[in-house]
Amino acid sequence: MSLFNPSSSTPNTSHGRIRKGPNKEKLMKTDTNGDFINNLPDEILVNILSKLRIDEAVRCDVLSKRWFGLWKQTSHMEFDVRHMVNPLTKLLQSREARTVPDFNTLGPSINKIGYGFFSRVILLILTHSSILSSCHFRHFKKSLVFGDVETCIDFFLDRKKGIKDLCLECVSEGEEGAEKFVFHENVYTPTFPCGIFENLASLELINYTIECWLPFQECRQLKKLKLKRVYLDNITLSGILENCVVLENFMLLECNGLGRVLIVKSKLKVLQLQALCVGEIDIVTNSLEVLLLDSMICPVKDVRIYAPYLKTFRSYNYSIYARMVAANGENSIAKTHQIFAQCSDLVMGPTTRSIFQNLSTLSIDLDLNNLREAGLLSYVMRLCKHLRAIDIYLPVFRPRITHKSIICSSDILCLMSTFWEKRESCCCISQKLKFVSVRGFRGKEHELKFAKYVITKAIMLKRITIICSDSMTKAETLFSLPRASGNLFINLKLNANNPMDEFAEHQNRMLKW
């Protein structure tokens, strides 16, 4: 862990000769004096160890006396069965005598775990001497056969009362990449005790089958819940949401088994739905501030959202998993402009509480070269009275132009060519809009006209960012336009990313919320 002191290795060339370097003893002494990491306070070193997996943190014991035993004070532990090496004594090797706890004194439920991965986990938990606030478990599916996972987690939560954040992840041996995308119901179902999660503030479950909501009973402290690649039915989801009375952040990602998504929560602030294949979506909440929809496979006519105080709306169609599911099913992925039409008064008639009326941030994938999509964007912008930022992601792959799509009447062609020029300044353009971003810009006619519309109409605009896919030649013509805002900064970038990388980038951005 020590840093090498450059001054000690600089050769001395005086008198035309190169002197021999310092001996080993002097070099080690110099390194010790210059090792600022070892001179850091224990609190910082413990924080560093908290970022590592537990097997890596324990191995730091052998680096120096300075690091010895510090892993026992970490506030976070991450157990990963794929990296827990044998034997355990190598992980816990120390310079002093160590007593292995007698598992017979820990209760009969612990005895059935045996001496595999989870016995090592329990030994590490017993050795840990400080307060734990968070923990991450990764285990193989076969561990669910004999109830090892449930027993270990039950013991862990009972032993470490301070745990508030817990992540449980079931992985397959070998971690086949295809399994991440081709979902199937798990063979083994965990049977967690009733109310086991009641003292947690944050919980993540990844790749499980949940047959009942009883483990979530009396979860009166749970504020953040993430379910990813989880198989559950409508009754289970309803029971979970009903018991999580103070839930503020809910993520339902790539889950299966649901026929309908019904979310009625009075305190929910952030909702993320990704790659769900369902028949209906009903969201009713007055407190929701952030809504993110990614690649929802659902009839658009059956999507109903009531969130009058929504501040941020994000809609994408970049989930590869959803594309694979949609290719094998009857329904297609709901597009952003279709959701616009459904949630505005264009379809449902005049409403007193639109989800757009209090929006401050709008982040969407939308084709500005499509007249219908551009028209719906223009209409939604008129509904947004407080919109300050718009992020538009143009399609990575453009639909192939066929002969039939080229045949248009002269009136339609005229309308397309003058669409943005004839748009009057709405409230958000003339008073509120400050930031605009367009990614995937190729300099097409209607992409340029949208940018011109914003630059010449938005009085309060501070920055417009154009990220070009290939060439910036056409985008550079925007610099010569008259600007409605005297403080406007036009930022042009060239994005040379591979198109397939765009999918992962958009998905990662979504999951960071």
Is the pLDDT assigned to residue 283 strictly greater than 90? yes
Let me know: does 302 contact 281? Beta carbons within 8 Å: yes
* Cα 510 from chain centroid (whole Å): 5
Euclidean distance between CA atoms 382 and 307, whole angstroms? 18
pLDDT of residue 100: 44
Give the pLDDT mean for 439-444: 92
Rounded to an integer, the average pLDDT of 137-164 is 87
Report the C-alpha gap between 444 and 449 in whole angstroms: 9
Q: Is the pLDDT of residue 91 over 60?
A: no
Listing DSSP states for 488-501 in one string gives -EEEEEE----HHH
Task: Please compute the mean of the pLDDT values over residues 289-311 and round it to a whole number.
Answer: 95
Residue 114: left if φ>0, alpha if ψ -120 to 50, beta else—which one? left
Tokens at 404, concatenated: 């039939």
User: Which residue matches tokens 């970038």?
Assistant: 493
Tell me phi and psi for residue 76, to 5 degrees.
Answer: -135, 140
Q: Where are the alpha helices (DSSP H) in 304-370?
A: 320-327, 336-343, 345-348
| 175-184, 348-357, 361-370, 455-464: least confident range | 175-184
Contacts of 184 (CB under 8 A, 6+ apart): none
Mean pLDDT over each residue of the chain, to the nearest integer: 80
Find the range with the poorest average confidence among 158-167, 345-354, 503-512: 503-512
Which tokens is 407 given? 């045949």
Label residue 450 by pLDDT band (50, 70, 90): very high
Least confident of 12-26, 106-120, 230-244: 12-26
In the structure, what pLDDT confidence band is assigned to residue 86 with cuts at 50, 70 and 90?
A: low
- Top pLDDT among 507 and 202 is at 202
Per-residue pLDDT at 28: 47
Structure-model confidence comparison of residues 349 and 383, the more confident one: 383
pLDDT at 246: 96
* Helix, strand, or coil (residue 408): coil
- For residue 288, pLDDT over 80 is answered with yes
Whether the per-residue pLDDT at 348 is higher than 70: the answer is no
| Two structure tokens written together for 23 | 């001996």
Distance in angstroms (rounded) separating the CA atoms of residues 456 and 420: 11
User: What residues form DSSP beta bridges with 283?
Assistant: 263, 305
Residue 357, C-beta contacts closer than 8 angstroms, at least 6 positions apart: 308, 383, 384, 385, 386
Q: Given this model, what pLDDT does residue 476 score?
A: 94
Is residue 10's pLDDT more than 80?
A: no
Express as a percent the part of the chain with pLDDT over 90.
Answer: 47
Residues 157-174 have a mean pLDDT of 88
Q: Residue 354: pLDDT band by 50, 70, 90 thresholds?
A: confident
Please give the C-alpha separations between residue 134 and each of 79, 127, 228, 307, in angstroms, as whole numbers: 11, 16, 19, 32
**Identity of residue 294:** D
What is the DSSP code string of 233-284?
-HHHHHHHHHH-TT--EEEEES-BS-SEEEEE-SS--EEEEES-B-SEEEEE
Question: What pLDDT does residue 33 have?
Answer: 47
Mean pLDDT to the nearest integer, 151-179: 80
HSE (side-chain half, CA atoms, 13 Å) at 299: 7
pLDDT in tens, 34-57: 467 777 888 898 898 889 998 888
Residue 290 has pLDDT above 70, yes or no: yes
| pLDDT for the residue 26 | 47
Least confident of 154-168, 380-394, 403-417: 403-417
Could you tell me the pLDDT band of residue 170, with boundaries at 50, 70 and 90?
Answer: very high
Give how far Cα 58 sits from Cα of 50, 84, 174, 241, 431, Å: 11, 11, 25, 38, 57
- The β-bridge partners of 376 are none
Buried b (16+ CB within 10 A) or exposed e, 335-344: bbbbbbbbbb
Average pLDDT over residues 340-354: 71
Residue ranges of alpha helices (H) inside 14-147 are: 24-34, 42-50, 54-59, 88-91, 108-111, 117-127
Q: What is the pLDDT of residue 506?
A: 52
pLDDT of residue 416: 52
Is residue 352 pLDDT above 80, yes or no? Answer: no
CA distance from start to end of the chain: 34
| Tokens found for residue 280 | 């209906």
How much is the pTM? 0.80
CA distance 504 to 485: 35
